[in-house]
Chains A and B, each alone.
Chain A
Amino acid sequence: MAVLTAPERTSPAPPSPRGGRARGPRRTPPMVLAFLLVPLLAEAVWVFWPALQGFYLAFTSWDGVSAPRFVGLGNFREMLHDEVFRTAAVDTVLWLVLFGGLSAVLGLAAALLLQQERRGVGFYRAALFLPVVFSLVATALVWQAIYQPDGVLNQLLQSFGLGSLRHAWLADQDTALYAVIVPALWRQVGYVMVLYLAGLKGIDPALYEAAKVDGAGRRQRFRYVTLPQLRSVNAVVLSVIIIDSLRSFDVVWSLTRGGPYHSSELLSTYMYSTAFQSLRLGYGSALAVVIFVLAFGVIASYLVRAFREAD
């Protein structure tokens, strides 16, 4: 094992590691190797290989039919001057802040509210968690009906005497992005709530009692007991939220397709439409690489932190 941990192992032609291991005192049983290598092979074929292809394509111009033409950093240079890319990047940040921030805050609030074991609390938990069960595309269809010009939302506004606020929510560039965030939030809050509920369950009640004895009020107990105890859950929630924000696609695509005129465009929808609608697969791959780098940066920094804590 010790031999294999050497970082040089990443080079494509390693100097016969097999022989070295056989002579070693702690020989890995073949069964373990099989358990490692077979899934690795599957992963290599189905995940690493296409991923590397994606990286290669990011440096090409490809229409999906002819052979890809190598263009070096051309795609990334184009990105610098691409207004739509800028809009999509800004929208993605907005999405991250609004969708991510609100789902964390609302999820935590819901978890705190529903953590006590009272009669009927299970019903409310289930009700909040239920949207997670639906596919986002199905969710989007329901919300599309709600947002229709004659839909539930506009009719509600009308019946409350707010008819002047009636609106084509998804077709107006000023409201489209926010109108899409709401269904995504509606679904995410339940998920984050469950994460926090699990975290809250793990807090030792003795801590609260001790705090109470010391004269801590509700707010102080939350600030000095609950929040620090939830630190590990927070890390999970943070990475889940960031990854979910960056890969948010289905709900936007089903509701607006990034429109009207790119006003609700996210990096993910822009990547999809560039690659599969405009058939500019090279540029689309370059966008995918940008998304990957962003997501990977977050995950890597999270993992590094997690390992440091574990050691």
Chain B
Amino acid sequence: MRIHREHSMTNQHPSRRLFLAGLGAVGTTALLSGCVTAGSSSGKSSSGGGAVTLQSNLSAPQAKAAMEDVVAAYAKKGSGKASLNTVAAETFRTQLPTYLTSANPPDVYTWYPGSVADAYAKKDLLLDLGEVWSSPELKGYSKALNTLCTATSGKKVFVPTTYYWWGMFYRKSNFAKWGVQEPKSWDEFLDLCDKLKSKGIAPIGLGAGGNTAWVASAWFDYLDIRINGAVYHRELLAGKHRFDDPEVRKVFDRWAEVLPYVDPNGTAVAFQDATTSLLNGRSGMMLIGTFFADAAPKNALDDIDFFRFPIIDSKVPLAEEAPTDGYFASARTGRRDEVVDLMRYLATAEAQEIYIKGSSGTVLPTNPDAKDAGTPLVQKGRQHIEEAAEITQFFNRDSSDALQPTADTALTKFIAKPKSIGSILTDWQRDAEKIWNA
């Protein structure tokens, strides 16, 4: 192909080439006028009516099927229609700003509340969902969720539907076989690691290799909320503290204590492979979110248990990572009333139960009247979150997707070269400033 093109170019008569070049320049200068900013100029609103377009990043087979069930159930109800458009998660993430700024955007999107939604709300890209929040469907929603879905401007911009939790997951049968128990404190945790290592097992699986380097951020998040607390953590991610501050350094000093126990392949394999190792008993435990259960064989599910990330400083209020998922809508939608109706439905116990039933069932519904999957694991998870005084989301959700790669670079480098932590943190601060100032 390429050769053909080059040959045809060489065969062209020179005068014709110049002619083309000249015309091209004329044409493009004329076109240049309205180019770049076209995407950012305010759009019109399409005529109302028709199905609400629901752009979903839930592309895992089970989750996708569950979403289809929800949309079908909504259509059956008869008040409106939604058309589901499932996009691969990575594509969705990179395209989201384009969707939201386009002149004729999709109406409703799966995404995250908190600072991520707030960043879009500050640019007036999100629809005010106050009407949804004052509807009876959301009456029982907790105060914390209410705050989480409120933008800086005071507007409600998000409707949460499910949440899940992070913890130290392990297999009950393996812990019994090795004769070890769940640790409570940091010292007990280190003892446990020691014991497992002496048995020739990699004590801690990581899974920050392949394309899932972000998993390492869970360790940073947890150590930071255990040592410096959730409030400091959120401020740090918002750019109010520096990554090269002594507080952050303390986080890495602690982390260095467990590094010898981390699976040496920790940064070489993706989390899916790391959880396979965990289920096969090659690694002892792993700090991961419940989503990993989507890929676990059904017979292993009953054998999975977890414990709380060990307490380091009992004076720090207990915080847990429990990311909330849900929906926001484009401010440029031409179907505002239909969007509000769909959002109200998505907030009902019925819709959330349909989703939980169709998916792997390890998420918890945000509607207090909705029933969860009811397994002992899920009940333990619910209690695990209720005991926490503070809830954090996850590194990227508490900051921005743009900040995540800076963390990935810093953390994988730290795991490989813990001794150069000083320069790593300086670099991290420098990279983060570029994102904050962008």
Contacts and interface: CB of A to CB of B under 8 A. Distances in A.
A37 B24 CA distance: 10
B15 A12 contact: no
Contacts of B267: 168, 171, 260
A195 interface: yes
Contacts of B100: 65
A257 interface: yes
Main DSSP-derived SS at the B contact region: helix
Interface in B97-128: 97-98, 100-101, 120, 123, 125
A101 interface: no
Contacts of B265: 149, 168, 171
Interface string B406-420: 101110110010000
Contact of A260 (B31, B412, B434): B412
Given A149-B269, A259-B409, A67 B40 contact: yes
A44 B15 contact: no
Contacts of A262: 409
Given A5-B19, A14-B26, A259 B408 contact: yes
A5 B40 contact: no
Most chain B beta carbons < 10 A, residue from A48, A64, A170: A64
Contact of A5 (B18, B94, B213): B18
A279 B18 contact: no
Interface in A18-44: 36-37, 40-41, 43-44
Contact of A279 (B24, B27, B401): B401
A40 B23 CA distance: 8
A213 interface: no
Contact of B30 (A12, A171, A277): A12
Interface stretch (B3-11, B152-160, B167-175, B359-367): B3-11
Contacts of B26: 9-12, 14
A60 B438 CA distance: 11
B268 A148 contact: yes
B125 to A, nearest CB: 7
A207 interface: no
Given A149-B265, A280-B434, A65 B416 contact: no
B6 A239 contact: yes
A2 B14 CA distance: 11
A120 to B, nearest CB: 27
Given A168-B267, A278-B438, A53 B25 contact: no
- The interface size bin for chain B is 35 or more
Contacts of A11: 26
B35 A278 contact: no
Nearest to B400: A279
A278 B434 contact: yes
Nearest to A45: B31
A61 to B, nearest CB: 7
A4 B19 contact: yes
A260 B22 CA distance: 46
Given A40-B27, A240-B2, A303 B10 contact: yes
Given A66-B40, A262-B409, A61 B438 contact: yes
A68 B18 contact: no
Contacts of B37: 67-68
A53 B31 CA distance: 10
B260 interface: no
Contacts of B79: none
Contacts of A259: 213, 408-409, 412
Contacts of A65: 40, 97, 100-101, 120, 123, 125
Contacts of B9: 303
A57 B36 contact: yes
A173 B37 CA distance: 40
B401 to A, nearest CB: 7
B405 A278 contact: yes
Given A5-B14, A5-B18, 19 more contacts: A4-B18, A4-B19, A12-B30, A37-B23, A40-B20, A44-B24, A49-B32, A49-B35, A52-B31, A53-B35, A65-B40, A68-B37, A148-B273, A168-B267, A236-B6, A240-B3, A259-B408, A260-B413, A279-B401
Interface of A: 1-2, 4-5, 7, 9-12, 14, 36-37, 40-41, 43-45, 48-49, 52-53, 56-57, 60-61, 63-68, 83, 144, 148-149, 168, 170-173, 195, 236, 239-240, 243, 257, 259-262, 273, 276-280, 303, 306-307, 310
Interface of B: 2-3, 6, 9-10, 14-16, 18-32, 35-37, 40, 94, 97-98, 100-101, 120, 123, 125, 209-211, 213, 264-265, 267-269, 273, 401-402, 404-406, 408-410, 412-413, 416, 427, 434-435, 438
23 contacts: A4-B15, A7-B18, A9-B23, A9-B25, A14-B26, A48-B24, A49-B28, A52-B31, A57-B36, A60-B36, A63-B402, A65-B97, A66-B40, A68-B36, A68-B37, A148-B268, A195-B3, A239-B6, A278-B435, A278-B438, A280-B435, A303-B10, A310-B10
